[in-house]
């Protein structure tokens, strides 16, 4: 085997040895005609043509009709030497279309320019990958559907609790006030019991409002994402006693409900993680519009974490944040170092905005 420039000189004995040693389909074609000069047994078995049939054919003949224009355009841009031609569709004798990875090499055979071509069947692998992608897409659609249903149920429950139960408790309180007035001063024990019951009703009303707000804060629907995140920051600071600073370069964002809900829930999860794990004294959050995207950044000055350990744990909270971000077509980056706090950055394309 001798090299001449970029081409390798191959005699008949050499190519026969190459063909016999290679278990994958291999053939030799003339240049520039691209007619088959030789094929190995693997090619005959795989494609279904006899050796004589191959030798009467052109490489265009093993391609589906819709693939021929692509093949012709590729021929126009000739590439010398060893070339990975990528994935191509080929057609077997029985009409079956397969996906193959083609690798070719320029050679000199019997004094003429030719190409030695190796074909690697990728059909099953590509089908498996497509099925996997389809399964992932279906799972993501299911996750989106379930999140939408969950938020809808939360909204419905919050309204039912706030409106129905709240009204009933208000009516109960009014009845107790009426009974208290009618009782007068004749029974101090009864008046004391009524007073205690009124206090219990007031506490229950507060509990009902808190539960309804936790299920779905009405401010998110009434005043929008920015106001809801400001309110959540104040509530978090009040409950956790961790100083919480929220800033935004916009006062109001007209975003679809699912996006507003996604950002709000991600922010809630960030604050929950800070309260549970960070041992932080300050949390700073910003929500900004930058060029073509919406950015949420949450930074705490807590203990931080080892990124490898967090990835291995696969905590549901972090997975939920990343999944919500993916469903909005964005990216989620969580970074931290032990003793140096944690930073969460969510970036979502602005073309999803109204």
CA–chain centroid gap for 207, Å, is 37
pLDDT of residue 310: 60
pLDDT classification of 52: cutoffs 50, 70, 90: very high
Whether 223 shows a pLDDT value over 60: the answer reads yes
Using CA atoms, how far apart are residues 105 and 108, in angstroms rounded to an integer?
10
CB atoms within 10 A of CB 172: 15
What are the backbone angles phi and psi of residue 91, rounded to the nearest 5°? -115, 130
pLDDT classification of 179: cutoffs 50, 70, 90: confident
Whether 178 shows a pLDDT value over 80: the answer reads yes
Whether 315 shows a pLDDT value over 90: the answer reads no
pLDDT classification of 50: cutoffs 50, 70, 90: very high
Q: Give the 3-state secondary structure of residue 304.
A: coil
pLDDT of residue 10: 52
pLDDT of residue 242: 93
Q: Worst-scoring range by mean pLDDT, 12-16, 36-40, 102-106?
A: 12-16
Whether 324 shows a pLDDT value over 50: the answer reads yes
What's the whole-model pTM score? 0.56
| 111 DSSP assignment | T
Whether 30 shows a pLDDT value over 90: the answer reads no
pLDDT of residue 3: 44
Whether 118 shows a pLDDT value over 80: the answer reads yes
pLDDT of residue 20: 66
Please list the alpha-helical segments (H only) found in the chain: 12-21, 41-47, 51-55, 68-76, 123-160, 166-183, 188-215, 218-222, 225-240, 257-273, 307-313, 316-327
**Mean pLDDT confidence for 128-140:** 82
pLDDT classification of 78: cutoffs 50, 70, 90: low
330 contacts 271 by C-beta, under 8 angstroms: no
pLDDT classification of 121: cutoffs 50, 70, 90: very high
pLDDT classification of 4: cutoffs 50, 70, 90: very low
**Mean pLDDT confidence for 307-324:** 70
Q: Which has the higher per-residue pLDDT, 38 or 165?
A: 38
The mean of the pLDDT values for the chain is: 82
pLDDT of residue 309: 61
pLDDT of residue 353: 47
Q: Worst-scoring range by mean pLDDT, 20-34, 139-153, 324-338?
A: 139-153
Over residues 258-283, the pLDDT tens digits come to: 888 889 989 988 998 899 888 899 99
Please list the alpha-helical segments (H only) found in 216-337: 218-222, 225-240, 257-273, 307-313, 316-327
**Mean pLDDT confidence for 199-207:** 85
pLDDT classification of 110: cutoffs 50, 70, 90: confident
pLDDT of residue 189: 81
| 186 DSSP assignment | S
Q: Which has the higher per-residue pLDDT, 216 or 271?
A: 271
Structure tokens that stand for 301 in this block: 């000055």
């Amino acid at each position: 085997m001798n090299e001449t420039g970029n081409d390798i000189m191959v005699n008949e004995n050499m190519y026969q040895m190459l063909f016999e040693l290679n278990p994958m389909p291999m053939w030799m074609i003339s240049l520039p005609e691209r007619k088959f000069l030789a094929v190995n047994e693997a090619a005959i078995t795989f494609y279904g043509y006899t050796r004589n049939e191959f030798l009467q054919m052109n490489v265009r003949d093993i391609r589906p009709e819709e693939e021929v224009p692509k093949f012709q355009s590729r021929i126009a841009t000739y590439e010398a030497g060893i070339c990975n031609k990528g994935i191509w569709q080929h057609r077997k004798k029985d009409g079956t279309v397969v996906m193959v990875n083609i690798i070719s090499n320029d050679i000199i055979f019997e004094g003429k320019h030719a190409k030695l071509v190796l074909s690697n069947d990728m059909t099953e692998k590509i089908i498996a990958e497509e099925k996997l992608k389809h399964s992932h897409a279906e799972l993501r659609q299911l996750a989106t559907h379930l999140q939408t249903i969950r938020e809808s149920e939360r909204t419905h429950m919050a309204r039912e609790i706030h409106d129905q139960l709240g009204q009933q408790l208000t009516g109960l309180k009014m009845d107790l006030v009426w009974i208290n007035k009618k009782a007068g001063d004749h029974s101090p024990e009864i008046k004391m019991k009524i007073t205690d019951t009124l206090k219990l009703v007031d506490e229950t009303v507060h509990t009902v409002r808190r539960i309804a707000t936790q299920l779905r804060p009405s401010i998110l629907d009434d005043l929008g994402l920015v106001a809801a995140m400001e309110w959540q920051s104040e509530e978090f600071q009040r409950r956790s006693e961790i100083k919480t600073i929220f800033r935004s370069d916009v006062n109001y964002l007209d975003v679809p409900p699912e996006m507003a809900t996604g950002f709000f829930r991600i922010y809630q999860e960030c604050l929950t993680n800070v309260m549970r794990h960070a041992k932080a004294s300050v949390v700073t959050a910003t929500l900004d519009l930058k060029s073509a995207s919406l950015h949420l950044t949450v930074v705490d000055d807590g203990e931080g974490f080892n990124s490898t350990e967090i990835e291995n744990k696969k905590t549901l909270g972090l997975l939920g944040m990343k999944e919500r971000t993916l469903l909005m077509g964005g990216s989620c980056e969580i970074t931290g170092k032990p003793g140096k706090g944690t930073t969460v950055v969510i970036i979502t394309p602005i073309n999803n905005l109204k």
